[in-house]
Amino acid sequence: MQKIKMENFQYNKGKLFIEGVSLIDIIEAVGTPFYCYSAAAIKQNYKTFKRALKNLDAEIFFSLKANSNVGVLATLARLGAGADIVSAGELTRALIAGFPPNKIVFSGVGKSRDELSQALSVGIKQFNVESESEMDLLSEIAKRRQIRAPVSIRVNPNVDARTHSKITTGTNENKFGVTMDDAKRLYAKGSKMNGVDTVGVAVHIGSQLTQLAPYRRAYKKISELVTFLKNEGYKVEGIDLGGGLGISYLDEIPPTPCEYGLMVEDVVGDLGCSIGFEPGRVIVGNAGLLVSQVIYVKEGNYRPFLIVDAAMNDLLRPALYDAYHEILPIKEAGLNISSVRYDVVGPICETSDTFGIDRTLPKMEEGDFIAFSNAGAYGAVMASTYNSRPLIPEVIVDGARFAIVAQKVCIEEFIKREKLPPWLEMQDEDMEANPG
Ligand code: LLP
């Protein structure tokens, strides 16, 4: 039997199941392609992460950017999770899903006036401020309303997270946060401003981290900063340590939440601050699949192409980061089925629409189904309608039941937003009089 690295996903009598539901049943109900999440896996991952921090005064803010489906969010909100947002859109989603405003933190380098204003109206827990201009603007808006905005200063510790360069955020070249020196200056400035209340410092050095050492280095710098600020007489109630813990897509062995928690305890456990965490991928990454159908098997010069009905617009990670997602057959290979090495590609008209090169799979026929594993994080949220393809449905399974938590959005819906410019709306007679 093929071993699947994702819990709650297993073969049963030759068919791939997600918890108690056969994917074939969902395929029959919604058609391919679609995303499918396991509620049990999401809950389990959240609880494991929470348990790993049990010795700390910890608060978990799930990072919505990893998966912002309201069905997924509500599952986490019911467990008591908070939310880490980066836009007014994510704020709206967080509120709809039931996260209390005082459990929402707002990150991001480019929060607009409107976004700051909306989040202030709602009364969120904290703004992770990333520049002096942002703090000035936030203070101005809050002062006008005679309130104070709770502010954490996001520090860029100049530590290489040793992950993909496109998802590294904590080095000097990156746009995120402010330098250690600026953090001290801004903290002092903020403490005197009428519109802000400086409550802490924040850091996030990157995503899909597979080693503890960069974290340790960054958190040490945070510890030094907090000690400095406290010695200067400033109040530092909380530190926000960001997200970033990796998962295993291929053969990575990332630290477990428990190992991560112990490291945190060791480095910042005695600062006397509450500690916020913003995990995304580690909560939902291994809780989701992208299910797809083989449209054609086409001979290639090197290997046959498996042309499937999902594409880079549905799952962008392989095209953007050369990311690896294991490909699982929905029907388990029988003992007498030979295996074949395929290049697995989507229908989009560019070569980056490639899910996997030289992947060994049981011999596939046109019409067969496959699933891309570990697609619960940064999957559906990064989808687009490139090549005028629809947005695909999302389904969540809970035990023996499943529900569609996002409808397919047909391309006609998108075309409705568009119209001809008035000068092209001319009547036929005008066209004759005015050709060209
Ligand atoms: N907090 C902040 C401030 C962040 O920027 C991020 C991710 C997180 C938390 C959550 O990080 P996580 O625990 O999920 O690693 N699209 C890329 C990942 C981009 C991550 C951006 N920031 C991917 O598909 O790998």
Give, using CA atoms, the residue closest to atom 23 of ligand 1: 378
Q: Please give the number of the atom of ligand 1 that sits closest to the Cα of 244.
A: 15
> Greatest CA span in the chain, whole angstroms?
82
Closest residue by Cα to atom 20, ligand 1, is 207
Q: Is 243 in the pocket of ligand 1 (CB under 6 A)?
A: yes
Please work out whether the CB of residue 130 comes within 6 Å of at least one atom of ligand 1.
Answer: no
What is the pLDDT, as a whole number, of residue 280?
98
Kindly tell me the burial class for residue 202, based on how many C-beta atoms sit within 10 Å of its own C-beta (0-12, 13-18, 19 or more): buried
The hierarchical CATH code for the domain 9-38+285-415 is 2.40.37.10
Rounded to the nearest angstrom, the distance between the alpha carbon of 54 and the centre of ligand 1 is: 23
Query: Which is the closest atom of ligand 1 to the Cα of 209?
Result: 15
Q: What is the rounded distance in angstroms from the CA atom of residue 187 to the CA atom of residue 117?
A: 21
Which one is catalytic: 36, 258, 349, 410? 349
Handedness of CA 13, 16, 19, 21 (dihedral sign): negative
Is the beta carbon of 244 within 6 A of some atom in ligand 1?
Answer: yes
Among 237, 241, 232, 242, which Cα is nearest to 273's? 237
- Going from the Cα of 236 to the center of ligand 1, the distance in angstroms, rounded, reads 25
- Expressed in angstroms and rounded, the spacing between residue 167 Cα and the centre of ligand 1 is 7
CATH T-level assignment (fold) for domain 39-283? TIM Barrel (3.20.20)
Mutate to test the pocket of ligand 1, among 45, 61, 65 (most ligand atoms within 8 A of CB): 65
C-alpha 266 to ligand 1 mean position (Å): 24
Q: Given this model, what pLDDT does residue 429 score?
A: 59
Catalytic site residue 36?
Answer: no
208 lines ligand 1 (CB under 6 A): yes
The closest residue, in CA terms, to atom 22 on ligand 1 is 207
Could you report the per-residue pLDDT of 414-426, keeping only the tens digit for each? 999 999 999 998 7
Nearest to 216 by CA among 166, 174, 160: 160
- Give the residue, out of 207, 222, 248, 378, with the most ligand 1 atoms within 8 A of its beta carbon, to mutate for a pocket test: 207
The answer to whether 281 touches 233, Cβ cutoff 8 Å, is no
Cross-strand partners of 289: 36
Span from the CA of 281 to the centroid of ligand 1 (angstroms): 7
Instruction: Show me where the domains of the chain are located.
Output: 9-38+285-415, 39-283
Q: Indicate the SS3 state at residue 301.
A: coil
In the chain, which residues have pLDDT < 50? none
Residue 191 alpha carbon to ligand 1 centre in Å: 29
Q: Given this model, what pLDDT does residue 324 score?
A: 98
* pLDDT at 336 (0 to 100): 78
- Given a contact cutoff of 8 angstroms between Cβ atoms, the answer to whether 85 and 91 are in contact is yes
In this structure, the residue with its CA closest to atom 19 of ligand 1 is: 167
| Residue at token pair 């002092």 | 188
Please write the tens of the pLDDT for every residue from 365-374.
999 999 999 9
Residue 197: per-residue pLDDT: 98
Phi/psi region, residue 6 (left: phi>0; alpha: psi -120 to 50; beta: rest), is beta
pLDDT confidence of residue 434:
63
Task: Give pTM, 2 decimals.
Answer: 0.96
Q: Give me 168's structure tokens.
A: 């590294």
